[in-house]
A and B are shown apart, each in its own frame.
Chain A
Amino acid sequence: MHVPDGFINAPVSAAAGVVAAGAVAVSLRGARRELDERTAPLAGLVAAFVFAAQMLNFPVAAGTSGHLLGGALAAILVGPFTGVLCLSVVLLMQGILFADGGLTALGVNITVMGVVTTVVGYAVFRALVKVLPKKRPSITVSAFVAALLSVPAAAAAFTLVYAVGGTTDVPIGQVLTAMVGVHLLIGIGEATITALTVGAVIAVRPDLVYGARGLTAPLKLRVNGELVDAPAAEPVPVAARSPRKLLLAGLVTSLLLAGFVSFYASANPDGLEKVAADKGIDAKAEDHAAADSPLADYGVQGITDSRLSGGLAGVIGVGVTVVAGTGVFWAVRRRRTGGTSPASTSDIPGNA
């Protein structure tokens, strides 16, 4: 399902890039509460695991094969925010190292395969865990259903992106049917692997499953050979906190942005040229590009010819993704490093 370069047109790629950057920024903030130092490598492992699993194609039917997306698995094991980060890292590294998924399509890939699967998977999972009895099998069952639904959801999201920004006008109805149909099948595979993985982990190391926190037995002390209940320690400060507000805010912002940019793009049949013709955006984008881009040294700016700037806008249109993404990351970074001195970093993630 990795989208290559040139598959989705530039404005929509850019818009998806903005959505992805927003989602990653929100996740970076959220992940600070999900991850403590013991779970940080777990995020890396989940990423590596998803990476490996995405290379393991499993046979579906009639010679086609699909691969694990891993969003639901990541969300359940390390939490939704960290899950988004894991998937983003996987897709970034696949793009850079294996050229699997285009670099300019990174935004589309992260949005479709990272954000959608994680959010849908985790939402379904939480809802089910709430409804089902508080036992370990319920977690496994919820994981199954969550993973099952997350895959066709991603397929549908892909179709949506394609409908807005596909470079070829294949009939959307056909794309949707084919995508969702095949991915329902793949979803069964995904669900099986997710459920069995979560099940296996929860049986051996329940502490590693984010979605199953809060199942601990009381401690005992050995006093003169007798086992005595330990004085109640302070309750484990996990579970029950609500990332919902932040998640919601992030989603709404992203969707607004996406909606705005896509609308702008789709309202203009040939988005790039239109964007280029628009002097205001053109000038602004150039400013951005000149501000901190190494391109600044290479005499791109100061071009007044309208035809020339038309060509430039193609580059700049996609470049906006980068600038926007960098801007968001930078803001988050600043805020983070501003709050704490580098010497005492070990406990900023805290657990509060």
Chain B
Amino acid sequence: MGAGHAHKLYRHGHSPVHALPPHTKLTAVFAFVVVVVSTPRTAVWAFALYAALLGTVAYAARVPASFLLKRLLIEIPFVAFAVLMPFVAQGERVDVLGVSLSVNGLWGAWNVLAKGTLGVAASVLLAATTELRELLLGLQRLRLPPLLVQIASFMIRYGDVITDEMRRMRIARESRGFEARGVRHWGVLAKSAGALFIRSYERGERVHLAMISRGYAGSMPVIDEVTASRAQWSYALALPCAALVVCLLGWFL
């Protein structure tokens, strides 16, 4: 427990990307995604360039492709939706291998897939190179309201507690031959949820009492300042800036 530990998406390393201050990375990722989303969907090549940009970052961060690709699997539900689009969308239709598909739907599917995938990949890279605690510090530096940072840090602290308790309870359930397979089993899962809540809360409550006993009043005291130099900023922002160039080209060509 404690906020200092690495999360499972984090990949320990000492690359230049790891070393960047968290708030510069957050800004860069956010700006990058904004640029990607603003790109016209017809500029297919632009998305290839974006992917290449992310690839460069991944290389600099020494995040292997297999790691990145595995994390991209989170996207699968959207893929399912995107695949449906050409079939259900309206407008002009085109025959592909004897199946009538909507042109608009095809573009829509492409749009969601391309932009969604790039967004996911950017976030995955951020998470892979930034520790949770750093991430929170970064959000704090970016002036996210303290109450939100506080809730987020408690959430992360409790996250460990909950997953731990959840695992124990699942083991207990499964060792008695239970497996969730359908509507019939909702009751059991839901009852676990209630118990899980109480158990987690009581485990975390004592830590909090200790914290407020030492003057904790809602925001983590700043013990070490995080600052970013101009060079670090420009390094981090190279990504969205390059993307911006691609995006602008996409609008003109």
Contacts and interface: CB of A to CB of B under 8 A. Distances in A.
Contacts of A300: 244
Contacts of B123: 95-99, 103
Interface residues of B, number: 103
A10 interface: yes
B191 interface: yes
Given A6-B115, A200-B198, A346-B217, A40 B162 contact: no
B119 A169 contact: no
Interface stretch (B11-19, B25-33, B57-65): B25-33
Contacts of B115: 4-6, 102
Interface of B: 7, 9, 26-27, 29-31, 33-41, 71, 74-75, 78, 85, 88-91, 104-105, 107-109, 111-112, 114-116, 118-124, 126-127, 132, 135, 143-148, 150-159, 161-163, 166, 180-183, 186-187, 189-191, 193-198, 200-201, 204-205, 208, 212, 215-219, 233-234, 237, 240-241, 244, 247-248, 250-252
Given A47-B154, A51-B159, A4 B75 contact: yes
A37 interface: yes
Given A4-B119, A92-B148, A102-B115, 6 more contacts: A37-B218, A96-B29, A99-B74, A99-B127, A192-B186, A192-B190
Nearest to B113: A6
A43 B127 CA distance: 24
11 contacts: A44-B152, A44-B157, A52-B166, A59-B180, A59-B181, A99-B119, A99-B122, A197-B197, A295-B31, A310-B251, A314-B40
A189 B186 contact: yes
Nearest to B121: A99
Contact of A93 (B33, B152, B191): B152
Given A7-B112, A99-B124, A345-B218, A42 B201 contact: yes
Contacts of B189: 56, 58, 193
A302 B135 CA distance: 34
Contacts of A272: 38
Contacts of A295: 31, 237, 240-241
A189 B127 CA distance: 31
Nearest to A86: B151
B9 A97 contact: yes
Determine which residue in B31, B39, B194, B250 has the highest number of CB atoms from chain A within 10 A of its CB, and name it.
B194
A99 to B, nearest CB: 4
A285 interface: no
B49 to A, nearest CB: 15
A86 B197 CA distance: 15
Contacts of A250: none
Interface residues of A, number: 92
Contact of B37 (A13, A42, A48, A93): A13
A298 B157 CA distance: 38
B155 A98 contact: no
Nearest to B196: A49
A314 B121 CA distance: 21
A43 B38 contact: no
Nearest to B182: A59
Nearest to A93: B152
B42 to A, nearest CB: 12
Interface stretch (A129-137, A232-240, A252-260, A324-332): A324-332
Given A49-B200, A311-B247, A98 B158 contact: no
Interface in A293-337: 294-295, 297-298, 300, 307-308, 310-312, 314-315, 317-319, 322, 326, 329-330, 332-333
Determine which residue in A4, A38, A61, A311 has the highest number of CB atoms from chain B within 10 A of its CB, and name it.
A4
Interface string A16-46: 0000000010001001100101101111110
Given A41-B205, A103-B119, A5 B151 contact: no
Contacts of A189: 186, 190
A6 B114 contact: yes
Determine which residue in A37, A88, A99, A307 has the highest number of CB atoms from chain B within 10 A of its CB, and name it.
A99
Contacts of A82: 151
